[in-house]
Structure 1
Amino acid sequence: MPFSRFDPEATPTARIGLGLAAVGRPGYLTLGRDRDLPADRTPEALRERSHRLMDAARAAGVRYFDAARSYGRAEEFLAGWLAARPDAADQVIGSKWGYTYTAGWRADAEVHEVKDHGALTFDRQYAETRALLGDRLDLYQIHSVTPESPALNDPAVLDRLAGLAAEGVTVGLSTSGPGQADAIRAALEVTVEGRPLFGAVQSTFNVLEPSVGPALAEAHAAGLTVIAKEVMANGRLAPPVAPPALRRVAAEHGVGTDAVALAAVLRRPWTGLALSGAATVDQLTSNLAAADVRLTEEQLDRLTRLAEPPAAYWARRSALPWR
């Protein structure tokens, strides 16, 4: 199914996607990871974990799975799952290029990934993605574009992305850092033969870091599908460390704080998809309860007050250890 034909209303949970960052590699920047994953994080153990998550997600109506070249073996795990489930032809698949995984399957590696947005990196990583996912790739995104990234101004890169779009793959970008809004607005100016190049944008957006919201609204108005990532703020909005205000709203709905955090993102009229980064089936089930949460304006206002200054939010995120 081409990404452009993705139907967010197909099921009650179709606007929730499953991101594979947490289960594609042994280390990641998430609080509580030692509790969520076994100490023995072999490739075989995480392959089995990721397949169980994808099975549960699909059974619950989730239709978008998100991977990246830098997510360890996430594309490999996803490819194996797709090959074993021919009835999942309607599953929509996205991945990313621009970061190379360098940790060698070690959670304590000094460097976990190396960023490069050059044409040669695109050539190598696109070939690797295609070798694994074949014609199942629906969305291919530049990974973590910042205002300083050369990707939006490199003729060689843009030529390759235009060729990808001509083949029917939706071209997208993800953003990170306090300058997300500037990166998105720069991307909206990129056109090929008078038409916008990008069809989707994936950005960090949550109740602690909502500053990119106006730019995402502009992207939506320009026709891009908006995908929200890190909606749990790397575990800061999930039990048991969620802020008291979030816990109170969750109690009012009888759900977990994770479901409310996700529901607050889905409440935005420009949100096309919001990603669950669940590492366990129980977490995924709790996340998916967001589809039935109807936040009031008063509750949303209370959650809005949790916002942190972007520089402070990103400084705290950068200080999180890989676990």
Structure 2
Amino acid sequence: MPFARLAAATTPTAHLGLGLAAVGRPGYITLGREGDLPVARSVEALRERTFELLDAAYATGVRYVDAARSYGRSEEFLGEWLRARPDARDVVVGSKWGYTYTADWRIHVEGPHEVKDHGAAAYDRQRAETAGLLGDRLDLYQVHSVTPGSPALADKELHARLAALAAEGVTVGLSVSGPDQASAIRAALAVTVDGEPLFRTVQATYNLLETSAGPALAEAHDAGLTVIVKEGVANGRLAAAPHAPAALREAAERTGYGCDAVALAAVLREPWSGVVLSGAATSAQLVSNLHAAAVDLDADTAERLKGLAEEPGEYWARRAELPWH
């Protein structure tokens, strides 16, 4: 599995990755993003920002990068960067299929920015698109945002396609979203092809405010899956004042690191945590996020931070209200 390469890495940031959701398209839901990116969010400006972040991440020891078909031009930018950096062969590349980006490089649109489809035909189309942009550099392909009712959990035709991809050497995984993440994870653990588990990784939202998937992620880890954590700073709610809760700000003051680093360190502390993603949009944010590897949370502070957890329905309802900007 590609993640064995990360397990063998010795850099402090080997278990931190860079997600490209915030820089592959002009609009996203992260708080404070309006001041993080150039005023003119042209394709070239975001390509340049993506290259800057990838260069900074690689220089500081990050070796996992996360993209998706629905993250605007993230695969395109990543593929170009990989071709321009032939020495970066040790980067583990993950992407996702299942959503189609429909905003057409606009921030404000009528209707959704992306449309979900977990059918076999959608997989065929998007797999070909990903191959055209990333070529043989794709290590992990995930079904994007699986929920308990997703056809990706029951469609045998799709399972056969994914098993064929795995036979070619690409790891097959899934990401989950929503208040029922735990149910989706447990359902995915039961999916097999010819008696063998189909999914070998799971990517889930887990942070100090949304911890409901924790027990299911522990089960996935025990079953041999690599766990990837997204939204560790809750789309900016745990990044800095005025959004960060008082308990997190106090912990940051005691440790001498930023709220974002402490929030990510709390996730890294989980024994099942494999790779924790930074969703940074600037190099300064990335460096601050990567300080998580140096944060030493004592047991008392970690326990106090657990009190920040919200009820899942409340958390996801609030997330759904975040504006694209």
Smaller-chain TM-score bracket: over 0.9
SS at match of 2:204: strand
The answer to whether the Cα contact below 8 Å between 1:138 and 1:169 also exists between their aligned partners in 2 is yes
Q: Which residue of 2 aligns with 1:284?
A: 286
Q: Which residue of 1 aligns with 2:273?
A: 271
| Matched AA of 1:210 | T
Q: Which residue of 2 aligns with 1:259?
A: 261
Q: Alpha-carbon deviations, 1:65-105, whole Å to 9, x = none?
A: 00000000000000000000000000000000000000000
Distance 2:100 2:2 in 1: 26
Taking the TM superposition and a 5 Å limit, the aligned residue runs for 1:118-197 are: 118-197=119-198
The answer to whether the Cα contact below 8 Å between 2:207 and 2:233 also exists between their aligned partners in 1 is yes
TM-score, L = length of structure 2: 0.98
Q: Percent identity over the alignment? A: 69
SS at match of 1:159: helix
Deviates more, 1:236-245 or 1:301-310: 236-245
Q: Alpha-carbon deviations, 1:280-305, whole Å to 9, x = none?
A: 00000000000011101100111100
1:92 matched to 2:108: no
Flag the 1:19–1:8 CA change in 2: closer, same or farther, 3 A: farther
| Matched AA of 2:150 | S
| Matched AA of 2:168 | E
Deviates more, 1:238-247 or 1:92-101: 238-247
Distance 2:286 2:179 in 1: 28
SS at match of 1:6: helix
Taking the TM superposition and a 5 Å limit, the aligned residue runs for 1:1-323 are: 2-7=2-7, 9-110=9-110, 111-240=112-241, 241-323=243-325
The answer to whether the Cα contact below 8 Å between 1:8 and 1:272 also exists between their aligned partners in 2 is no
> How far 1:192 sits from its partner (Å)?
1.6
> How far 1:12 sits from its partner (Å)?
0.5
Q: Paired residues, what number?
A: 323
Distance 1:130 1:7 in 2: 26
Distance 1:169 1:294 in 2: 35
| Matched AA of 1:115 | K
The answer to whether the Cα contact below 8 Å between 1:2 and 1:168 also exists between their aligned partners in 2 is no
- Unpaired runs of 5+ residues, structure 1, are none
> How far 1:139 sits from its partner (Å)?
0.3
Deviates more, 1:180-189 or 1:34-43: 34-43
Q: Alpha-carbon deviations, 1:128-167, whole Å to 9, x = none?
A: 0001101100000000000011111001110100001111
Distance 1:3 1:77 in 2: 22
Flag the 1:150–1:32 CA change in 2: closer, same or farther, 3 A: same
SS at match of 2:277: strand
> How far 1:3 sits from its partner (Å)?
3.9
> How far 1:8 sits from its partner (Å)?
6.0
> How far 1:6 sits from its partner (Å)?
3.2
The answer to whether the Cα contact below 8 Å between 1:79 and 1:132 also exists between their aligned partners in 2 is yes
SS at match of 2:220: helix
> How far 1:183 sits from its partner (Å)?
0.3
| Matched AA of 2:83 | A
| Matched AA of 2:164 | G
> How far 1:4 sits from its partner (Å)?
4.6
The answer to whether the Cα contact below 8 Å between 1:139 and 1:171 also exists between their aligned partners in 2 is yes
SS at match of 1:117: coil
SS at match of 1:94: strand
Distance 1:213 1:296 in 2: 20
Flag the 1:42–1:8 CA change in 2: closer, same or farther, 3 A: farther
| Matched AA of 1:14 | A
Distance 1:284 1:140 in 2: 24
> How far 1:9 sits from its partner (Å)?
4.2
Flag the 1:4–1:155 CA change in 2: closer, same or farther, 3 A: farther
> How far 1:262 sits from its partner (Å)?
0.3
Say what the alpha-carbon RMSD is for the aligned residues. 1.0
